[in-house]
Structure 1
Amino acid sequence: MEPAASGSPQPSSPSTSPPPPPQPSRYESQKRRDWNTFLQYLRNHKPPLTLTRCSGAHVLEFLKYLDQFGKTKVHVETCPFFGHPDPPSSCSCPHKQAWGSLDALIGRLRAAYEENGGRPDSNPFAARAVRIYLREVKESQAKARGIPYEKKKRKRKPTVTSVRLDVDLTSSVTGDGSNSDSPATSGAVPSLG
């Protein structure tokens, strides 16, 4: 076998490594982090819980546990700033998780539960108690912070408006291009029927 001459191209072998997997979306990454956080919470629970034994009550415990990491000031009823969106000074009211954050979290965990083999009819994140809790948090935070939560209005697609065609009825054109029966000359009014 002769050695290949220098300067001549060596035959290249096709790349056999598969392309890197696509990066997960921000939503997917957050959902995975939330799911792992919830599983960690279950492992640290006293006594430790398995996912199959998890109920809506455990989800509520988890949401209340998360309040200690919240950044939203929620005024208590005895606070002079209760119901004021922009208080002039600080107060000792607790920080909690904002309703919108909790609502989004539950949505992600609800999806993650089913993606990880949970049955939709036994999804603890879809429990009635969780929905009621979220509604109560929304109402109490709106009252305490003086910030009403309003449903976002959907942008409607523009409707197609009818186009009005103005037709010049003062003359009619015959097939040969000449005017005939022009009201200006004949005194007749063309019929629209």
Structure 2
Amino acid sequence: MSIDRGKELEEGSSRSPGDQPPTPSRYESQKRRDWNTFGQYLRNQRPPVVLQQCNSNHVLEFLRYLDQFGKTKVHLQGCIFYGHPEPPAPCTCPLRQAWGSLDALIGRLRAAYEENGGSPESNPFASGAIRVYLREVKECQAKARGIPYKKKKKKTKDDESTSSIHFS
């Protein structure tokens, strides 16, 4: 009897032996694919890196490696379209991974790391170096595309009380 089947019996599952397990959500499927891709990346390093030895530097190298497969045009500072959100003509600037895609990827890998037995304290996907890298990518891409990026201020209690609308 499989472990999963044993759990189902313990939990009183009504599924019959021929039923298929529920299909994983799109997020869960993507998380599994991302985790497998990262594991393959580590195995392909020379020398191969075991997960227990993985650190934020390996994660940063992985993110830089993924950049070559990106589909987002990021204008270089010398490009005549640098800072234009919708350039009128094509240019030779590189395609990169979009910041939002990298941010989502790191979120999935961070969760997968802990689900696969890693401790939150040693999670290389949660390190400050990764947060700094993502922030720099976001700011760089925003400037290259001419999108102003302003850090949101945290609301204080005074802001909340003056901004609320009261109806009588």
TM range (shorter): 0.7 to 0.9
Structure of greater relative contact order (alpha carbons < 8 Å, 6+ residues apart) = 2
Provide the rounded CA distance (Å) in 2 between the counterparts of 1:80 and 1:110.
38
Deviations 1:111-156 (A, max 9, x none): 000000000000000011000000000000000011245789xxxx
Is 1:34 the equivalent of 2:34? yes
Query: Which residue matches 2:132?
Result: 132
* Cα distance, 1:71 vs structure 2: 0.1
Amino acid at match of 2:70: G
Query: Which residue matches 1:12?
Result: none
Query: Which residue matches 1:24?
Result: 24
- Give unmatched runs, 5+ long, in structure 1: 1-14, 153-158, 165-193
Is 1:68 the equivalent of 2:65? no
Q: How does 1:168-183 map to 2 (within 5 A)?
A: none
TM-score, structure 1 length as denominator? 0.69
Aligned CA-pair RMSD? 2.1
Amino acid at match of 2:85: P
| Larger CA Rg, structure 1 vs 2 | 1
Corresponding pairs, count: 143
Query: Which residue matches 1:120?
Result: 120
**% identity of equivalent residues:** 71
Deviations 1:54-86 (A, max 9, x none): 000110000000000000000000000000011
Distance 1:48 1:146, change over 3 A: same
Query: Which residue matches 1:95?
Result: 95
Counterpart secondary structure, 2:80: coil
TM-score, structure 2 length as denominator? 0.79
Counterpart secondary structure, 1:140: helix
